[in-house]
Structures are given as structure tokens and as C-alpha cells.
Amino acid sequence: MSDLPLELLIGGAGLGVGLMVFFLLSRVEDKSVVRESLRQLEGYEVDNVRDQELLAPLSDRAFKPILGGLTSLGTRFTPAGYVETSKTKLIRAGYRGPDAADRFLAVRVVTAVAGPILAFLFALWNPLDFGGLLFLVSVGFILFAFLAGPDAILNRKVEERQYQLRRTLPDVMDLLVISVEAGLGFEQAIDRVVSAVPGPLSDEFSRMLGEVRAGSTRADAMRAMEQRTDIPEMRSFVLSILQADTFGVSIGRVLRSQADEMRIKRRQLAQERAQKAPVKMMVPMVFCIFPSLFVVILGPAAINISRAF
């Protein structure tokens, strides 16, 4: 046995481990197939409690208890009203799942716990003194809180979705005007636009139509859509449609005026972003471009002056 080369011993051990893993995975896969087949049987009942629990998917048995514990921990240590604010932001960002808020709170708890652990590990590895360590940890915490934290990412998601809504709303309004003037009703025109133009705005219109078909009034469904989007253009559109329904004004005329107004607002928004660009460019120019230019231009002169004296 001692005459065998080391490569052969390592290869044999790896082959044995691979066969064992393959055997265990095949057993797990066979059991999962059996459980999936049993779930599809109507009227199938299991008397054993353990077998009933094993019929549930692995995600429900393993991850949901962990998610529930992290969610309860995050709810306990968050300020009052933070959970409701997070739910509102998640809805505005497009996350409408029943467990979206729970997942967000769980991620927030994990990041809050992982931050001190990473700081402690960095302190063990860090060759700097205590002042340098404190400075690096403070800078890292600030950057994480304002750029890469869960709240910062969620706020960016909300802003991006609202920008997409404001950008696509004038084009959707033009399609609504064409559809209404062609003879379709307001809800039929929205249904046609939803099927023709995919995107977040179509998702909001689709949900609004679903609420109307479920028994809600058009006014309540449109007010709920305006609260979910939270943009001035949508608020103006909803108020105009509700006033047209109240006073009996032509929907086509209201939609055309709204389309023209929103197109003007979109052009003004583009001009505003273009005027903000030079101000935003000053920061990288002052801290990145100007120092390198000063080094290239004034560096040789400073060297010659220092040699002269």
C-alpha cells in the first residue's frame, strides 16, 4: 500500500466520495419524485405526521422557518412604522408577493449581523493601527448604508420604476387616445394597450382592470393604482378620468389633452436631467481629472524649482 503513488490514492478517494454523493443524490431524487407523485393524487391522505411533513417541498421545510425567524427578529428591532413603509416601497418597486416584506426584513437582519462580523474579521487581519481601522470601518459602513444596503437598493428600485412609468406614460396615452377614438370603451382600450405594450405601466393597468372585474369600482381601482405608482403624472391622469366620469365629459378629449400635457412634461424632464449633467460632472472632474492634470502640468516645474534651490 505504501508503494502506491500519491496521485492514485487521491484519485481513489475522490472516486469513492463521488460515488457516495451520487448514491445519496439518487436516493433523494427518487424520494422527491415519489412525493411529487403523491401530491398529485386526489384524496391521498397520510396518517403519519412525519410523512405529511416530508410531502412538503424542501423550501417549505427548511427555508420558511429560517425566514420566519429572521422576519420576527427584524420586526422586533425595527422602528415603529418601518415595516409599513417598507411594504409601500416594495409595492412601488413592483414586488407584490405575499412574502416580499418578510424576505426584505430577513435580508436586512442578515446584513445587519454580517456587518459586525466582517468588521471583526477585518480587524483581525488589518495591519493598520486602531485609528486607521476605525476610519476604514466607518467609511465602509457609510458606503454600505447609502449605496449597497437593502434600503438604498430598494430606494433605487423605486426610483427606476417610477422613471420608467413617467417615460412610457405619454406613449401609452397616445395609444389610448387612438383606441378610444376608434370606438372602443375606456376599459377595452386599456385592455388592448396592456396586451400590446409590455412593461411596468401595463402591469399597473392590468391590475387595475383585474380589480374592476373583481367587483371594485373604477374610481377605487384607479385611486389604488395612483397610490401604488406615486408619480404626479399618474395622479393627474387619474383625477382627469374621474372628473370626466363625474361630469360626463368626453373620455377621448380628456385623454388627448392628457397625452399632450404628459409629452410636454416628459420633454421638460429630459431637459432638467440634461441641465443637471454639468453639475454632476464637476465631482469626478475636481477629484479625479484635475489632480492628474496638475501632476502632469505642474510636476516638472516643481521638480525643476526644487533642484534649483
pLDDT above 60: residue 282: yes
Q: Are residues 172 and 137 in the same domain?
A: no
Q: Are residues 168 and 212 in the same domain?
A: yes
Per-residue pLDDT, 67: 56
Q: Are residues 127 and 224 in the same domain?
A: no
Query: Among 115, 103, 98, which residue's Cα sits nearest to residue 75?
Result: 103
Residue 248 lies in a domain: yes
Per-residue pLDDT, 106: 74
Q: Are residues 182 and 139 in the same domain?
A: no
Residue 134 lies in a domain: yes
Query: For residue 178, what is the enclosing H or E element?
Result: helix 150-181
Per-residue pLDDT, 1: 42
Residue 1 lies in a domain: no
Q: How far apart are CA 103 and CA 87, in angstroms?
A: 11
Q: Are residues 265 and 165 in the same domain?
A: yes
Q: How far apart are CA 81 and CA 257, in angstroms?
A: 39
> 255: how many CB neighbours lie within 10 A of its CB?
25
Per-residue pLDDT, 21: 59
Residue 25 lies in a domain: no
pLDDT above 80: residue 289: yes
Q: What is the mean pLDDT of the chain?
A: 75
Query: Where residue 251 sits, what CATH number does that domain have?
Result: 1.20.81
Per-residue pLDDT, 46: 47
Highest mean pLDDT among 63-77, 91-105, 134-148, 207-221: 207-221
Give CA 199 to chain center in angstroms: 15
Q: Are residues 144 and 164 in the same domain?
A: no
Residues 134-143 have a mean pLDDT of 69
Residue 5 lies in a domain: no
Final residue in a domain of this structure, among 106, 125, 148: 148
Using pLDDT thresholds of 50, 70 and 90, give the confidence band for residue 127: low
Give the least confident one: 55-69, 193-207, 209-223. 55-69
For 132, the domain range is 58-148
Residues 107-111 have a mean pLDDT of 75
Final residue in a domain of this structure, among 83, 115, 148: 148
Give the least confident one: 5-19, 142-156, 174-188, 229-243. 5-19
Residue 13 lies in a domain: no
Q: Are residues 144 and 240 in the same domain?
A: no
Q: Are residues 108 and 134 in the same domain?
A: yes
Per-residue pLDDT, 32: 57
Residues 75-95 have a mean pLDDT of 77
Final residue in a domain of this structure, among 104, 121, 148: 148
In the numeric block, which cell numbers belong to residue 45?
391522505
The per-residue pLDDT for range 255-267, each reduced to its tens digit, is 888 888 888 888 8
DSSP helix, strand, coil percent of the chain (3-state; round to 5): 85, 0, 15
Residues 76-83 have a mean pLDDT of 68
Give the least confident one: 25-34, 82-91, 122-131, 209-218. 25-34
Residue 29 lies in a domain: no
Residue 240 lies in a domain: yes
Q: Are residues 140 and 207 in the same domain?
A: no
Inter-residue contact 83 to 105 (CB < 8 Å):
yes
Per-residue pLDDT, 153: 84
> 210: how many CB neighbours lie within 10 A of its CB?
11
Per-residue pLDDT, 14: 63
Q: How far apart are CA 191 and CA 206, in angstroms?
A: 7
The per-residue pLDDT for range 25-54, each reduced to its tens digit, is 555 455 555 555 555 554 445 455 555 555
Total number of domains in the chain: 2
Q: Are residues 140 and 164 in the same domain?
A: no
Using pLDDT thresholds of 50, 70 and 90, give the confidence band for residue 71: low
> 113: how many CB neighbours lie within 10 A of its CB?
12
Q: Are residues 127 and 222 in the same domain?
A: no
Q: Are residues 92 and 125 in the same domain?
A: yes
**What percent of the chain is predicted at pLDDT more than 90?**
0
Using pLDDT thresholds of 50, 70 and 90, give the confidence band for residue 168: confident
pLDDT above 70: residue 169: yes
Per-residue pLDDT, 274: 87
